[in-house]
Amino acid sequence: MKTITQKLDLDQFINNFKSFFAREKAIEMQGDINQHFKYISALFSVEFPPMKEVPNLDEQLNRLKKQGVLGIEEIYAFVQIVEYFNALKASSLPEPLNKWIKEISVHDDITNIIVYFTSEGNINPEREPELYEIEKALKANKAELKDKLYKLAHSSNLKEYLVDTQVHFFNGEETLMVRGGFNKVLKASVVGRSAGGFFYILPQAISHLKEKEATLLSRKEVVIYRYCQTFSATLHTHYLFMRYINREYDKFDHYQARVMFAKAYDYQFILPSKRKVVNLSAFCHPAIENPKPVSIKLEKSVMLVTGVNAGGKTMLLKSLLSAVFMSKNLLPFKCDEEKTEVGHFKSIEAVIDDPQSVKNDISTFAGRMVEFSKLFDKENAIVGVDEIELGTDSDEAASLFRVMLDELKNRGITFIVTTHHKRLASLMSTDDDVELIAALYDEENRKPTYTFLQGSIGKSYAFETAERYGVPEHIVRKAKEVYGEDKENLNELIEKSTTLEREMRLKLEKIDADLKAVEQKRENLENIEAKLNEQQRKAIATLENRYNAATKRALEAMKAKESTEGRRLLNDAHKQKKLSAHAKKVEQPNKRVLQVGDTVKYRSNRGEILNIRNKEATIEVDGLKMRVPLAQLRYLESLQKKVTQKSKSSVNVEKSGRGAVSIKLLGCYADEAIDKLDVFLSDALVSGFSEVEIIHGTGGGVLKKVIIDYLKSYPKIQSFHGQKGNLGITIVKL
């Protein structure tokens, strides 16, 4: 029986993906898919060390649990896993990856094992004196053996029997290749024959060296086995950790394989949504070379696909089910990820192949009934049925399948059904929970377009398909006569309906595109208007600041009895005041008379009008109230809210002499507080005060932050700080 991946033509895709695994495993991941998606997304954004290929260690873990002794290669496999996680810890990883990897703590006992291994997986001789001596002796023995073979290969006695002067390795032994008759001049044992009939020989002159080598290798194995016993005992002590880190290695392998696979093929990840929909945009089935991207929406319980033969109906069905399968397993695929949404379904079923079986005495229709009967035990599944009327009378099948589909979709099952039977399509077309899809045909070029039209029934084009695949024209013509003029007229009506609906959809798409372009232009103009208003506001503020500064200099000059200079400075200040007043008159006309409750745009913020007085309005932006000129507000039609009248605030300024040493701004709006504070500080400077206090209260801290930001940019201030014991008062030194 075919698996779901075979039915959906995903076998090659799955094999390509599995090639990115560091070790063989199933593609399914256990656990929270949302957490997996977060790890994959984080890993996708960084470079990370490549994983090392290690074998599956489940059997080795069972042996460790039973205090068995592992081989040196098996121990080194565990060492490689631990080393890889150490390398990840040294990398710069984003969250939540960083937190996960940092929490993996390796015990010192295991760290001590790691240092005994070389990068090739052998015990490091430098850490074991006995092993060092054995290795040294093996090298010396091998050099002596090589030297003797070289001398024999260049001896005059053996020259005429030698095939060449090279040392040949045969079954791991160093040998010479000679012709027959060599035993006349050299005592040696034959260890093999070449394809050309020559002999591989082991001279007796080096046999003692081979025996010595065997003895040394035996001693080496004893030493290594001793280490294997020690290391295995240590790993047994930390069995739970070894089982855990082996599992985490597989977990990370799942993530890195998906990331590398997606980057290699430029695929996108789609996290399953909670809605039971399959909305594909620019989807490409991985089994098709140079595919035509599919964009389709499945938002109802049943999708009924009709239309031209060989027009892509089956591949559309497979594409929808494949997208669900790949999304369910967090396997990336080709699509427009911004416009693609794939829901979560508990299971995926594909009723695609002809189930007829001679062996089990099952007909095509009976096999279909067996497969449908299994669906009554399922819930929250997505099922694809290809050629639903296959194997029996189409009129009877239409009534039967209509009832079965109604019953099954009430159990939360979503269906994608392909059919050429117009009776079934007409029976189900009145159901609001059924989506009709037509596979389209190019009449002019007489071939399928492999595109689809939603909301329509498609014609099968059986005669055209037969002619396209080589059936003689006179046979097709005669078949049309047998088929009957009335049925052909019905097909023509279906075709015209489909054509008209397709033209209507194209026109609607063009209108939507034109509307988007107009909307974009409108938004651009509004942005330009807002930018100009902001420039005007800054210009007015600059002129007002110049006026205040000029007034201050004039008063200082008058205090110093420099009357002439004072009058000149006052005249200069009045000029700046006139420029400021003139700038305020240059206002952008409002396109609509603003009212209380309107949603408006102020600079780059959205707010709501709370009150209007003369040419100023009180607005609320992100919970902060402020008073601004009406000319600087722009009406936003789509964001209206109910208005709620707010209580007015009051300002109480305590004066001492000509200026004030204290100001209360409790309950003020932001802009109102800044205006009052600016006048207060100017008067304090003119009056010659060296220190003043600002009473703003604590509250939510918003007003205090606005005042502090303003003081940081105000000239002529030496410093400011909060009053000890009262955070609601700020002391300013002038």
- What three-state secondary structure class fits 715? coil
Query: For the domain bounded by 590-648, which CATH number is listed?
Result: 2.30.30.30
Weakest mean pLDDT among 153-167, 273-287, 293-307, 348-362 = 348-362
The answer to whether residue 284 scores a pLDDT higher than 90 is yes
Q: How far is CA 561 from CA 10, 554, 557, 564, 692, in A?
A: 95, 11, 6, 9, 26
Q: Which residues lie below 8 Å from residue 419, measured CB to CB, with a gap of 6+? A: 304, 305, 306, 387, 388, 389, 425
The dihedral region occupied by 117, where left means phi > 0, alpha psi between -120 and 50, and beta the remainder, is: beta
Whether residue 245 contacts residue 81, with contact meaning beta carbons closer than 8 Å, is answered with yes
Give pLDDT, residue 586. 52
In this predicted model, which residue has the larger pLDDT, 493 or 718? 718
Confidence of residue 220 (pLDDT cuts 50, 70, 90): very high
In this predicted model, which residue has the larger pLDDT, 351 or 243? 243
Confidence of residue 25 (pLDDT cuts 50, 70, 90): very high
For 584-644, give the DSSP string.
HH--PPPSS---TT-EEEETTEEEEEEEEETTEEEEEETTEEEEEEGGGEEE-GGG-----
pLDDT in tens, 561-599: 545 555 566 566 666 666 666 655 554 444 578 888 888
Confidence of residue 245 (pLDDT cuts 50, 70, 90): very high
User: By C-alpha distance, which of 727, 725, 721, 717 is closest to 696?
Assistant: 727
What gap in Å lies between CA 191 and CA 206, rounded to an integer?
A: 14
DSSP state of 71: P
What gap in Å lies between CA 83 and CA 118, rounded to an integer?
A: 12
Query: For the domain bounded by 278-474, which CATH number is listed?
Result: 3.40.50.300
Confidence of residue 15 (pLDDT cuts 50, 70, 90): very high
Q: How far is CA 549 from CA 211, 408, 709, in A?
A: 105, 81, 20
What gap in Å lies between CA 231 and CA 70, rounded to an integer?
A: 8
In this predicted model, which residue has the larger pLDDT, 61 or 128? 61
pLDDT in tens, 604-624: 678 899 989 888 889 888 777
CA 349 to centroid of chain Cα atoms: 27
3-state secondary structure 436-485: EEEEEEECCCCEEEEEEEECCCCCCCHHHHHHHCCCCHHHHHHHHHHHCH
pLDDT in tens, 483-497: 555 455 545 555 555
Cβ atoms < 10 Å from Cβ of 307: 27
% pLDDT > 70, the chain? 78
What gap in Å lies between CA 552 and CA 696, rounded to an integer?
A: 26
Confidence of residue 140 (pLDDT cuts 50, 70, 90): very high
The answer to whether residue 641 scores a pLDDT higher than 50 is no
Q: Residue 272: is the preceding peptide bond cis (ω within 30°)?
A: no
What gap in Å lies between CA 696 and CA 704, rounded to an integer?
A: 6
Query: 347-351 and 381-385 as β-strands: parallel, antiparallel, unpaired?
Result: parallel
The answer to whether residue 639 scores a pLDDT higher than 50 is no
Q: What is the dihedral of CA 202, 207, 213, 215, to 10 degrees?
A: 130
Confidence of residue 549 (pLDDT cuts 50, 70, 90): confident
Please give the mean pLDDT across all residues of the chain. Answer: 81
Give pLDDT, residue 651. 43
Confidence of residue 139 (pLDDT cuts 50, 70, 90): very high
Burial class of residue 515 (count of CB atoms within 10 Å of its CB; 0-12, 13-18, 19+): exposed
User: By C-alpha distance, which of 676, 582, 588 is closest to 626?
Assistant: 676
The answer to whether residue 645 scores a pLDDT higher than 50 is no
- The residues spanned by each domain of the chain are 4-107+238-265, 126-224, 278-474, 590-648, 651-734
Query: 381-385 and 633-635 as β-strands: parallel, antiparallel, unpaired?
Result: unpaired
What gap in Å lies between CA 352 and CA 368, rounded to an integer?
A: 9
Give pLDDT, residue 47. 92
- Looking at the domain 651-734, which fold is it? Ribosomal Protein S8; Chain: A, domain 1 (3.30.1370)
Give pLDDT, residue 207. 84
pLDDT in tens, 495-520: 555 555 556 667 777 888 888 888 88
3-state secondary structure 550-578: HHHHHHHHHHCCCHHHHHHHHHHHHHHHH
Give pLDDT, residue 635. 83
Confidence of residue 111 (pLDDT cuts 50, 70, 90): very high
% pLDDT > 90, the chain? 33
In this predicted model, which residue has the larger pLDDT, 157 or 699? 157
Helix (H) or strand (E) holding 683: helix 670-687
Whether residue 70 contacts residue 63, with contact meaning beta carbons closer than 8 Å, is answered with yes
pLDDT in tens, 360-412: 445 566 777 778 788 888 888 999 888 876 655 566 667 777 888 888 888 88
What gap in Å lies between CA 435 and CA 300, rounded to an integer?
A: 6
pLDDT in tens, 171-210: 888 888 988 888 888 888 888 998 888 999 888 888 888 8
What gap in Å lies between CA 53 and CA 80, rounded to an integer?
A: 9
What gap in Å lies between CA 349 and CA 357, rounded to an integer?
A: 20
Backbone φ and ψ for 654, nearest 5 degrees, come out as -90, 125
User: By C-alpha distance, which of 613, 614, 617 is closest to 632?
Assistant: 617
CA 112 to centroid of chain Cα atoms: 39
The answer to whether residue 724 scores a pLDDT higher than 50 is yes
What gap in Å lies between CA 574 and CA 508, rounded to an integer?
A: 61
Weakest mean pLDDT among 99-103, 416-420, 558-562, 726-730 = 558-562
Give pLDDT, residue 10. 94
What are the residue ranges of helices labelled H in 45-124?
58-65, 72-90, 97-102, 108-114
Weakest mean pLDDT among 127-131, 448-452, 521-525, 613-617 = 448-452
What gap in Å lies between CA 94 and CA 46, rounded to an integer?
A: 8
What gap in Å lies between CA 9 and CA 288, rounded to an integer?
A: 9
What gap in Å lies between CA 337 and CA 645, rounded to an integer?
A: 45
Q: CATH top-level class for 126-224?
A: mainly alpha
What gap in Å lies between CA 595 and CA 609, rounded to an integer?
A: 7
What's the rounded mean pLDDT across residues 257-286?
95
Sign of the C-alpha dihedral computed for residues 283, 287, 291 and 296 taken in this order: negative
Greatest mean pLDDT among 143-152, 157-166, 262-271, 572-581 lies in 262-271
Q: What is the dihedral of CA 33, 39, 43, 49, to 10 degrees?
A: -110
Is this prediction's pTM over 0.75? Answer: no
